[in-house]
Structure 1
Amino acid sequence: MITDAREIPAGTTLRADLCIVGAGPAGIALALALEESGLDVIVLESGGDAPEPATQQLYAGTVANAALHPPPEHYRVRRFGGSTTLWGGRCMPLDAFDFEARDYVAHSGWPIAFADVLRHYPQANALCEAGEFAYTAEGAFAAPLRPMIGGFASDVFSTHTLERFSCPTDFGQRYRARLAKGRVRVLQHANLCRLPMLAGSTRRAGAAQVRVLNTTDAPDATGGAAFEVAARAYVLATGGLEVPRLLLNSPGPSGRGLGNAHDAVGRYYMSHLAGTIGTLDLAAAQSVWHGYEVTEEGIYCRRRLALRPQQQAALRAGNFIARLHHPRIPDAGHGNGILSALYLARGIVPYEYAKRLYDGTPEGYAGSTLAHLNNVVADAPNTARFLWHWLRRRTLAVRKFPSVIVRPANLRFSLDFHAEQEPNPASRVTLGDETDALGLRRIHVDWRYTQQDVATVSRALAALAHEVERAGVGRFSYDPAQVEAEMTRYGAYGGHHIGTARMGRDARTSVVDADCRLHEADNVYVTGAAVFPTSGQANPTLTIVALALRLAEHLKGAADLGALPVPTANHSEPA
């Protein structure tokens, strides 16, 4: 069932076997997986079904370097469905190689095997509505596909792995009716403020302290009624920035934050290294296809250039993939009416996409508006066909065409890359001095990259340039001196907030164990990208859902969960 926490009388204590905090992809997947478990489950969600400025403002904080990280309230949505309400839908699994410890990637290695996650990927794929779990061209398509780059064969880069695309599926909208009819109790407008330790215990959290906002439609809302949720166990599923905030705002047995006895909470903060660089001239290739293929299920798929695992080791580089990309939009010199139309529409493009579409400079190049208008007029038939396609396949479609695909007439592409970031303990999320409307200290984000990150991109690009020329399909030209500037042009990539409550065996360098339970609390778990020890090259949503399903399996089979008593409290649930 779904109810509004604003209707709960102040001072009430609700009791449950399990309390899940957050109704994004991790929290909703976990709740759905526990529907028939027999456990009494409560889900706390800060927002409602629609955007609410005052609730969203709870995400605000500060950043150490605005050029390297967006404001903390961007790329996150504090409402039912969480980040999937703005998700682009790209799905892909991590690679088996990502789970291994590598001596050239500091702090790498997972305490679980790839197989432990692999068996949950098919169900995760289904929840994400990305079709069957098949991520190679051979596995997803019965007939051979046209080559991505005709004549390109390489032992260094593959071209057969796929990205699959969800609708994209808004988990809140898609699964609301199912949760509304089910046994799981979802409380909207319920904000976890603190998770104190149980009186007399140094190993168990007691009743969660929850508050609502007095108003949710104005940015100056204040804290409202408070109540408690007393559960046998708790799961934080609030995302890679909010998880450390909640842990650090709860003192824990050390007084330094729940789970933070060794100052590991908030450290190792990763995103992905992403950028657009150079010119890939493929005029000499037998053929080029950089668009989408559609499976029999109707799922959009796209191939990319992927650095093979053995070559990652040989180059001492992290995981890396690249896609053929259109010329840079702000420069009207591309002469393309479609790209110029996108430039002229920049005022209505959401921040999350404008930053990359316009190279981080939405104002573009001075005096270029007229040149863009000329491109649109000169290329009017092509532009009109694109707009009609976009209306039918994107704007009005349930399963949306994933992105802008423009084929340059001269087959000169830019290269869009997406790479693994090395875990770095100096890259971290801490608490700032400001407090929000509920009295919680806001976060301060200090995202940093390392020279290994620069080396990953530099070595992969150099290897790709060599392979393109060796195969005789063209030439990739770029300025190696500009690699670091290009990979940091957008700073921390979008909404990929990874590693801030990392999984590991050693409590001194990690926050949760292999079961995603806090090292220092027997009844508190974390799920989501916060627990990833490394980022890999893959967008995190599919793995977030798979790990939530893995945690659900553990909780259903955990003998110790049922044995834990529900914390005592001074109040009881109303009849």
Structure 2
Amino acid sequence: MITDVRNLSDGTVVDADICIVGAGAAGITLAMELLGHNLKIALLESGGLDFEDDIQALNEGDCVSEHKVDLTWTRLRYFGGTTGHWGGNCAQLDEHDFQERSWVPDSGWPIEKRDLERFYPRAGQYCELPSDNYSTDHWAEVSAEFRASRIPVTGESIGEKLFLKSPPTRFGDVYRAQLTRPGNQCTVYLHANVTEIETGEDVSQVLGLRTRDLDGRSRRFTARIYILASGIENARLLLLSNKVRPNGLGNDHDVVGRYFMAHSTIRTGRALLTVPRSTARFYGLDSWASRFESGGAPFVNALQPPYAVQEREEMLNSVVFFDESYEGERAPGFVALRHIMKQIIQGRVPDNLGTDLGKVLADLDSVAKALYARVSGDSQYRALELRYFAEQAPNRDSRVMLGADRDRLGQNKLVLDWRLQQLDKHTILRTQQLIAQEFGKLGVGRLKVDFDNESDPWPKAVDSSAHFMGTTRMHRDPRHGVVDEHCRVHGIGNLYVAGGSVFPTAGATMVTMNIVALAVRLADHLIGKFA
């Protein structure tokens, strides 16, 4: 059943067995897993079934770091959450991502990869993956074209990591009917903006959740178990709930909001390679143009330094993709065109449309050249750029905080201070050197680099990939983490957290499928508790 809380009277109290805050990948997965276990589930969503400007504006916040992150548009506030515009590339975390590494401060999970192994197949089903086989050799056998296009890396300095492609699954569309089927004991509550987690004076149990709509009316939700599944908002809600504990809930050791991580992504340098034209397609993430094409491969391959090399070079985990680039694509007019198309693909009206169209019209020669080069594939205009996609080292000073400005609900807006370290830069530059050496050894070409000195400042083009992790990290010791190995907030018996915010380290893979696997694991744990 779907209920819009705006149709409930001010002051209404709703009771359930399990209350889930956030209807994105984690929240919807949890609700789906809990169906059929005689549990009354309340799934709370801040937005409605479709995009709404005034609700989306609740994402607004301030980024005070050198490298900026868009807090408003990287996340979506409606049923299905940010799966409404995710790219769909999926791979498991590597085994060593869970291990403590001596050269990576604050690394190590309180669980091992084997603790997630049995949940990955179910996560792959939720993400509608075409297979559960991540072997590059397997896909080389299946696809003759990939076999002919595959770069024959040795595996000594550079290996491979394969990503399977989701359609991509829009969780709100795909799972709405099952969640809202009459009689299944799950109710989706729309426009339920949670503003406070209520506890008693000893803060040992959550007593309820307070919600507010944009008109100021309030409702209260009570349950036996509460789960926060709202990404970066998890930390914000814990910090906002400060009536009993001035620093917020789960924050006795000042850890909530800290250790914010993203995947540092940068396109730098060009690969001058003698490889088949199709190589770029098998090693490249989908571009805005390829979304209009059909018949693509169900996977993408990436180059990756093996763990032994990461350990020897004292670097983080990283992978490298290719981006097919054409003359004219870096011109202001074509950049503006890409900006317009990206927003249309995400299902929203382009902002600054007039300004961007003006740039396109003022730079028609470059736009026409770039479009011609892409359509024709003319090799004289074509080049391969390398896209480095790297794990970010945990950093206590990289954090989200509450700002002084308030949103329409009267809540303090987020402030983000995203801090990269020297180890992050070392990882990308050392990966670049290893790739260049491997290409030279194989005789397939060379790299023309733009960024090659660790003493140089970060290029302005470094990006967060919109993969927000950390801020409620998992650790057995409450001095170093917010949740335990079962994702329960330390010291609070019935409050759990799901999503990328519990990741202690980021790995070098996309987050959604791993978030889903952790959500399936949490649901399995809770079902066991109720049983």
TM beyond 0.5? yes
Aligned counterparts, 1:34-183, within 5 A: 34-65=34-65, 68-140=67-139, 142-143=141-142, 145-159=146-160, 161-181=161-181, 182-183=184-185
SS class of match (1:104)? coil
Residue deviations 1:361-386 (CA, integer Å, cap 9, x gap)? 9899999824325526865xx72x7x
In structure 1, stretches of 5+ residues that fail to align are 215-222, 334-339, 355-360, 386-405, 563-575
The 5 A counterparts of 1:289-300 are 289-292=279-282, 300=298
Q: 1:286 to 1:528 in 2, by over 3 A?
A: closer
Secondary structure at the residue paired with 1:553? helix
Shift of 1:528: 0.2
| Superposition deviation, residue 146 in structure 1 | 1.4
- Whether the 8 Å contact between 1:149 and 1:287 is mirrored in structure 2 is no
The 3 A distance-change label for structure 1 pair 42 and 449 is same
1:443-482 Cα offsets, whole Å, 9 max, x none, are 1110100111011111111111111112222112214446
Match of 1:529 among 493, 500, 509: 500
C-alpha separation between the residues in 2 aligned to 1:412 and 1:492? Answer: 21
The partner residue of 2:363 within 359, 369, 372 is 369
> Matched residues in 2 for 1:211 and 1:353: separation?
31
CA contact (8 A) 1:271 1:535 kept: yes
Structure 1 residues 286 and 18: alpha-carbon distance in aligned structure 2, compared to 1, 3 A threshold = closer
Percent identity over the alignment? 35
CA contact (8 A) 1:149 1:288 kept: no
Residue in 2 that maps onto 1:264: 255
Matching of residue 444 in structure 1 with residue 442 in structure 2? no
Count of aligned positions:
509
Q: Give the conservation status (yes or no) of the 8 Å contact 2:18–2:224.
A: yes
For residue 176 of structure 2, give the secondary structure of its aligned residue in structure 1.
Answer: helix
**2:464 aligned partner:** 493
SS at match of 2:206: coil
Indicate the residue corresponding to 1:538 in structure 2.
509
Superposition deviation, residue 434 in structure 1: 1.3
Going from structure 1 to structure 2, the CA distance change for 1:556 and 1:415 (only over 3 Å counts) comes to same
In structure 2, C-alpha distance between the alignment counterparts of 1:369 and 1:465, rounded to whole Å? 35
The 3-state SS of whatever aligns with 1:442 is strand
What are structure 2's unaligned runs of at least 5 residues? 284-294, 347-354
Contact map agreement 1:278 1:415 (CA 8 A) in 2: yes
SS in 2 for 1:291: helix
CA-CA distance at 1:494 after TM superposition: 3.3
1:232 aligns with one of 215, 218, 224: 224
Secondary structure, in 3 states, of the residue corresponding to 1:235? Answer: strand
- How many Å separate the matches in 2 of 1:44 and 1:266? 22
Query: Mapping of 1:388-407 within 5 angstroms?
Result: none
Distance 1:109 1:377 in 2: 46
Residue matched to 1:19: 19
2:429 corresponding residue in structure 1: 458
Contact 1:163–1:303 (CA<8 Å) still a contact in 2?
Answer: yes
SS at match of 1:415: strand
Name the counterpart of 1:205.
206
Look up the match of 1:393.
Answer: none
Shift of 1:70: 2.6
Amino acid at match of 2:485: A
1:129-151 Cα offsets, whole Å, 9 max, x none, are 12222112234565364144455
Whole-angstrom CA distance in 2 between matches of 1:286 and 1:127: 34
Structure 1 residues 374 and 89, CA gap change in structure 2 (3 angstroms):
closer
How many Å separate the matches in 1 of 2:71 and 2:8? 30
Which secondary structure does the structure 2 equivalent of 1:555 belong to?
helix
Q: Tell me whether 1:557 sits opposite 2:508 in the alignment.
A: no
| CA distance 1:352–1:307, shift in 2 (3 Å) | farther
1:41 alignment partner AA? I
- The answer as to whether partners of 1:330 and 1:343 remain within 8 angstroms in 2 is no
Q: What does 1:287-326 correspond to in 2, within 5 Å?
A: 289-292=279-282, 300-326=298-324
Worse-superposed segment, 115-124 or 186-195? 115-124
Secondary structure of the residue aligned to 2:16 is strand
Alpha-carbon distance between aligned partners in 1 of 2:524 and 2:344, rounded to the nearest angstrom: 34
SS, match of residue 309 in structure 2 = helix
Q: Match of 2:196?
A: 194
**RMSD of equivalent CA atoms:** 3.0
- Equivalent-residue separation in structure 2 for 1:202 and 1:373 (angstroms): 59
1:289, distance to aligned residue in structure 2 (A): 1.8
* Residue identity opposite 1:203 in structure 2: S
Partner SS state of residue 39, structure 1? coil
Map of 1:327 onto structure 2: 325
Distance of aligned partners of 1:364 and 1:126 in 2 relative to their CA distance in 1, 3 Å threshold: farther
